[in-house]
């Protein structure tokens, strides 16, 4: 059954039945294993991801796919995947597990605000039933929010995945968990879809928003489950034309449509066991804040 699902995903992304080939320019799929990754969960596989990305991004294909195979665990240190890329469509297919370093010292002399970032990439599609694990516990244990009296406590911790200036892009079907802070951040993006994702972290994990949106337009967040230690979805400034629908946020399910250019909002309450409570939450949100939507 798993093999069948993998085959379907690869066909959908690449519109071809060709096999996965070596890590080199102008191949159809760029398998991180073929680029030198071990997938044993302990070896630093960061360079293999860099090489696979560079090969996919510089290829002459109409649709290139970086492939993270199933039944593997890849330790990946902080990285930035840069664009623009040559292919009009570039896919990042995650069927295995990607894990962050557990120690905050891995961010020494690096940007501690992010683990992985995708920058200036149009036509980016993240997909697959794999897992992105931020391994955030060591960060939570030194957080000033949870431990204000701790000497050298920290207020800044990495967002798991950031999307910066990525247009006509999407994130689908992936599970994000245990980020040091926010799990997914979308900034400066247009025509962006987040669909059918799962986001999980302990309820006492500090500042672990599920999704944060900032300075972005034409957005859809739908059919997803979020259970984290802070806001399910937080909404910053300079947002227009955004729809949020069918989000399971803790025990509540809610939808929200925002038409910023008309300066009005329409709340859509869904039916179910907690519908009265969720509608009350939405009305309070509308009166009290234009910035954050919290469901936990």
pLDDT tens for each residue of 197-211: 999 999 999 999 999
When the pLDDT of each residue in the chain is averaged and rounded to a whole number, the result is 82
Confidence (pLDDT) at 267: 34
Lowest mean per-residue pLDDT among 42-46, 161-165, 236-240 = 236-240
Residue 270 has pLDDT above 60, yes or no: no
CB neighbours (10 Å) of residue 170?
18
Q: 231 and 120 in one domain?
A: yes
In a domain, 150, yes or no: no
Q: 247 and 188 in one domain?
A: yes
Q: Is 62 left (phi over 0), alpha (psi -120 to 50) or beta?
A: alpha
Beta bridge partners of 243: 220, 257
**Helices assigned H by DSSP within the chain:** 2-14, 46-57, 137-140, 275-288
% of the chain at pLDDT higher than 90: 68
Q: Prior bond to 137 cis, omega within 30?
A: no
Residue 117 has pLDDT above 90, yes or no: yes
Global pTM value: 0.81
In a domain, 149, yes or no: no
Q: What is the 3-state secondary structure (H, E, C) of 4-17?
A: HHHHHHHHHHHCCC
Q: 207 and 296 in one domain?
A: yes
Lowest mean per-residue pLDDT among 18-27, 107-116, 248-257 = 18-27
- Average pLDDT value for residue range 141-146: 91
Residue 166 has pLDDT above 90, yes or no: yes
Lowest mean per-residue pLDDT among 124-133, 141-150, 234-243, 275-284 = 275-284
pLDDT tens for each residue of 58-99: 999 999 999 999 999 999 999 999 999 999 999 999 999 999
By residue range, what is the domain housing residue 4?
A: 1-99
Q: 181 and 282 in one domain?
A: yes
Confidence (pLDDT) at 255: 52
Give me the number of domains the chain comprises.
2
Q: 131 and 51 in one domain?
A: no
CATH number of the domain to which 280 belongs: 2.160.20.10
Q: 221 and 187 in one domain?
A: yes
Q: 118 and 39 in one domain?
A: no
- Average pLDDT value for residue range 20-28: 54
Q: 235 and 94 in one domain?
A: no
Token couple for 96: 């295995």
Residue 293 has pLDDT above 50, yes or no: no
């Amino acid at each position: 059954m798993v093999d069948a699902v993998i085959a379907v995903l690869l066909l959908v992304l690449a519109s071809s039945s060709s096999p996965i080939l070596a890590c080199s320019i102008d191949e159809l799929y760029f398998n991180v294993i073929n680029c030198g990754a071990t997938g044993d969960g302990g070896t630093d596989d960061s360079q293999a991801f860099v090489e696979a990305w560079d090969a996919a991004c510089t290829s002459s294909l109409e649709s290139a796919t970086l492939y993270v195979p199933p039944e593997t665990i890849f330790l990946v240190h902080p990285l930035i995947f840069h664009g623009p890329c040559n292919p009009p469509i570039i896919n990042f297919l995650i069927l295995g597990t990607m894990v962050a370093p557990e120690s905050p010292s891995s961010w020494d002399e690096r940007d501690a605000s992010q683990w992985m970032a995708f920058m200036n990439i149009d036509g980016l599609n993240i997909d697959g039933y794999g897992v992105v694990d931020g391994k955030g516990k060591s960060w939570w244990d030194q957080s000033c929010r949870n431990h204000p009296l701790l000497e050298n406590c920290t207020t800044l911790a990495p967002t798991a995945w950031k999307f910066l200036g990525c247009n006509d892009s999407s994130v689908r079907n992936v599970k994000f968990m245990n980020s040091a802070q926010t799990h997914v951040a979308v900034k400066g993006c247009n025509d962006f879809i987040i669909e059918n994702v799962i986001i999980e972290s302990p309820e006492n994990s500090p500042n672990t928003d599920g999704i944060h949106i900032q300075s972005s337009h034409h957005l859809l967040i739908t059919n997803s489950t979020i259970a984290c230690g802070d806001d399910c979805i937080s909404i910053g400034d300079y947002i227009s034309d955004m729809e949020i629908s069918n989000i399971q946020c803790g025990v509540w399910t809610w939808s929200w449509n925002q038409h910023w250019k008309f300066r009005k909002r329409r709340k859509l309450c869904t039916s179910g066991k907690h519908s009265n409570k969720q509608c009350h939450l939405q009305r309070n949100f509308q009166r009290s804040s234009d910035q954050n939507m919290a469901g936990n």
